[in-house]
Structure formats: structure tokens, C-alpha cells
A and B are shown apart, each in its own frame.
Chain A
């Protein structure tokens, strides 16, 4: 059994929320550069170049890439041989978010109650997902999620008879309806299977995959490529003003499901697809 002070988790969260908001990861940046080369629309090309320039300014001047510095979505993989000491884990995570969002000059976008909307003032609470895994390490991934693209996401309980065609239709319809709103070019996270809530979580986790990586299953990899092509044929283009590049990637994650069920969740992410990871 290894002891780990939750203060270390707090410190890591604090650093990661700031870093994720200021530095676009290399995979996304590279995908944007490829997109700028491939884009046929002149306006679209110019937009992609400005987006790349924006990422450079943000990094150089330590500014947030986007003013929507997001909900702090945090994934923890906790080794089952780790003993967390020094306080409450959730308190530590929220303290990290609080300090990071304040000291990093990030926008506080969380309201205390969904209907009686008063800002909590410190971007807490975070949305936290915890998995217990083998080993004695703790892996922390911070993925600030903007409201614009999150709002365009959808979940649907399909019938098993709807099959792969039903899934394709739903994914494409979701992207078409979202149009310009989620700040294309987007990353499309798709979760298929499990239960109602599991599908949504799979879709969110799909967004964490490095852009350009493929689903290890050839069937799903081929589905990812087909969906990407169909989505880009919608013509939505950068910022929805028309063009070839509507999505940079489609990532599918799956899970076994009930004989009666076929849940499908589509979680959209804007081109500012932020995520930073550290292992303690």
C-alpha cells in the first residue's frame, strides 16, 4: 500500500487546469494544420489559420485559448494499492480547481443551481469521474469543457433493430443540427452501448483520445472513418460558414449492453479540445 497525500492531487489539478486552458495539445494543433491545408473554402482556410495563430498567442502570452475556460471535468484513475491520506479527495480536487481558476485568471462559469442561477465565483464544483484500476499510481486528466459545444451534444436510446445505420443517422443528424454553434471544426465523441449514463460517459471519454488515433477494432475504426467522411460532406465547414472541414476526428468508444438496448451518446467538442494528464 502506497500513501498519497491528497494535497499532491490538489496541486496537480491546480497546475493542469491552467495548462490545459493555455496550451493546445500537439495532436489538435497538427490536425488543425492539416485541416488548413485541406480546406477548399477561402474563408474557411483563413479561419483555420487564425485559430492556429490564436493557439500560439495563448501559449506565448499565457492567456486562455478561449474565454470559455469550461466546466472542470476531471478523470481520475486510482490504483487500488493507493491509500489517499491528508483529507477528503473531492475537497482537494475542488480546492485545486478554485486556486487554478483564480490564480490563472480563468473565467468562472459555474452557477450554483441550474435554475436559480447564481455564480459560485470559483468554478467549483468540478465534475469528477473516478475509476479504480490495478497498481499504486493515480492518473489525473483535466478536460475543461466549454458550454457551446456541450450544449449541442445529444443522447438517444435507439432500438437494437436500428443497428449501425441508426447510429450513423443519429451521429450525423446531431452534427448537422449543431451546425455552426459548437465552433467547428469539431471532435465528435461517440459512446455506444452500456446504459443511459454509461453511453454519455463513453462519449466524453472518446474526446480524450489523441486525435489521429484509431479504434483498435477494425469494424469501429472503419465506422469512425466513414462517419468522418459523411460529416465533412455536410459542408458545414470552419465556424459553419461553409467548407470541407467540419470535424477533425470521430472517436467511438463502446461497451456491452442489454439485449433490449442500444444507447448512443454524441458528445461534441469544439476545436479547442483541451485535456492534460499527469501520473502521480
Chain B
């Protein structure tokens, strides 16, 4: 287990390799489909983003509403591939990491290498477990989007696995290779 803290430096990112299990600490931001579209459009127009995402990690999640007395509801990763259209633009702008689940397209993989960024997977469907690592949560942009709003989360030892590293190695390709029987 490797502990890392946000914002991510290139030095830290370069040391991480596919298959490494990390515990993420610090601030991460949530954004899903609708929020990504808005962020992308702002960047295309050359306008400021509502949150500074440089060096930061975006977590693809749409949490359930928090019960009274809780910081957040269940909060596991959603399918990252839906964000592929917008991700290269965000990485070129300065985003350094993403947490989600599932495959990314070639453009995203190239943008990860080009920008020395990193892609982590969290366990899909483990939203109750993951929510326990989130100690603070607040909506910082687009509250009208409901579960798709941008939240600022503070996490303590949030568990994830490196699935695409800064060299472009991809665990979704390499991992299944080892266990394939034809």
C-alpha cells in the first residue's frame, strides 16, 4: 500500500506503476457526465473553471444523498469511459489524476502519457465501504445537477489501484492476459 496526497506532483506520479495499490489522502473533486460537459465547454470558450483542478484528481461518482448525521451516502466509482470525450481537454489543462472504473479510449491514454497523469480504479459497487473514507463533503459547483454536481471531498486512505500509469501501461490489458485460457 502506497500513501499519496493530493495535489499530485509529477514526481509521485512517475513512481506509480500499474497494479500498485494506493491510499489517497487530501482533497478530491467529483464530476460526472453533465459536469464534464460544462467544464469542457468553459475550457473551449477560454473561460475560468468554477474550481481549480490543476494538479488535482477527479473522482467519477454520483453519490447517494447523505442520511442525517452522515458526511455522504454511498459513493463508489461510475463508468469512466463516458467521460472520455472530455478527459483529454481536462488533462491538457492540468488535471493530474482520475478515479473511476473501466476502460478508457486511446485518446485518453495518450493524454495521460502526454501530461504525465494517472488513472486509478476504485471498486465498482463498493459505495458503502468507500464512503467511510470520505470525511468531508461539500458541493462547490453546479448544485442544480443534483447527483452530478461537483463536490469537494476530503478523503482519508481512500483505496484505489493504478490502472493506467504515466508510461501508458494499462492493467485492463495486461491483467486479463495472464488469466486468459482459450
Contact = CB atoms under 8 A, between A and B. Distances in A.
Given A108-B147, A235-B177, A66 B102 contact: no
B124 A270 contact: yes
Contacts of B67: 62-63, 105
Contact of A241 (B34, B159, B161): B161
B127 A65 contact: yes
Interface in A76-119: 105-109, 117, 119
Contacts of B126: 50-51, 54, 66
Contacts of A67: 61-64, 73-76, 78, 127
A233 interface: yes
A62 B128 CA distance: 9
B180 A241 contact: no
B181 A180 contact: no
A263 interface: no
Interface string B145-173: 11100000000000101010000000110
Contacts of B78: 67-68, 147-148
B81 interface: yes
Report whether over half of chain A's contact residues are helix, strand or loop; otherwise say mixed. Answer: loop
A3 to B, nearest CB: 37
Contacts of B130: 54
A40 interface: yes
Contacts of A54: 123, 125-130
B73 A240 contact: no
Q: How large is the interface on A (under 10, 10 to 19, 20 to 34, 35 or more residues)?
A: 35 or more
Given A121-B146, A181-B101, A64 B172 contact: no
Interface residues of B, number: 48
A107 B125 contact: no
Interface in A201-259: 233-237, 239-244
A242 B125 contact: no
Nearest to A241: B175
Nearest to B163: A241
A242 B178 contact: yes
B95 interface: no
14 contacts: A54-B129, A54-B130, A58-B128, A63-B64, A67-B63, A69-B64, A105-B67, A107-B65, A108-B147, A148-B79, A179-B103, A181-B103, A240-B103, A272-B125
